[in-house]
Amino acid sequence: MSNSSDQGGRPSEPPQGPGSSLPIGRVALLLILFIVATAVLVGQLHPSKATTASSATATTATTTATTTATTTPGSPTTAASSPTTTKPKSSPSTGATTPPAKVTVLVANGSTVSGEATRITAQLHAAGWDTLPPVNSATNVSSSTVYYAPGFQPSATSIAASLGVPASQVQPLSSSVPVSSVAGADVVVVIGPDVANRSSASTTTAAPTTTTKAK
């Protein structure tokens, strides 16, 4: 009797078991697969973004390489764009000979032979040198010497050779020159007895004796 009243008073419950609900591991697996599938789908729908980023990176690298090559010190392009210009010097160089017409020569007679400065001046003028009026030296000298201003050593050497004066007697122009004034002269020739005696020996008529030595 008691069993019949229990069955009539309570409704029956559905059976429960392991297969009635999904395990947690299976749910997690499905979630991971969904995320992966979504990522692959996005990548297929928008491939231009990846391509644009790759192109921008390549362009930046190319620009950097070009700029570095152009501005590298010592490159042929840089050297060719800035050639060196050298201005000519205003004074004659030591190794170059100035044209005789541009060299001013002063001849001074330092010998006892009258008229030597005048004769040597005429000889040099005929050779094309720009000569000043001849003068007498302050004192007589023992040998001829050719003095030169800075830059005119080649010209002085050439004049000395034409007069038979040794190269050892070609010296820089200084205050020791036995001439009262050498203003305007590039080369000063002081005639001594060596040059004067050669000229007097070749002259058949002796110069007249005077109280004042001729230039």
What's the pLDDT score for residue 88? 45
**Residue 190: its pLDDT value, please?**
97
Give the model's pLDDT for residue 102: 96
Query: What are the DSSP calls for 82-147, one per residue?
Result: S----PPPSSPPTTSPPPGGG-EEEEEE-SSSTTHHHHHHHHHHHTT-EEPPPEE-SS--SS-EEE
What is the rounded distance in angstroms from the CA atom of residue 132 to the CA atom of residue 182?
Answer: 10
Residue 72: per-residue pLDDT: 46
What tokens appear for 2 in the block? 């008691």
What pLDDT score was predicted for residue 90? Answer: 44
Domain range summary for the chain, segments of one domain joined by +: 23-56, 100-201
- Separation of alpha carbons 4 and 44, rounded Å: 68
CATH number of 100-201: 3.30.70.2390
Mean pLDDT, consecutive 10-residue segments, the chain of 215 residues? 49 51 74 84 61 50 47 46 48 67 96 94 96 96 96 96 95 94 96 86 48 60
Q: How many CA atoms lie within 13 A of 50 on its CB side?
A: 6
- What confidence score (pLDDT) does residue 38 get? 82
State residue 67's pLDDT score. 47
Q: What is the CA radius of gyration of the chain?
A: 56
pLDDT at residue 95, rounded to an integer: 53
Residue whose entry in the numeric block shows the structure tokens 């040198």: 129
What pLDDT is recorded for position 206? 43
Give the model's pLDDT for residue 40: 78
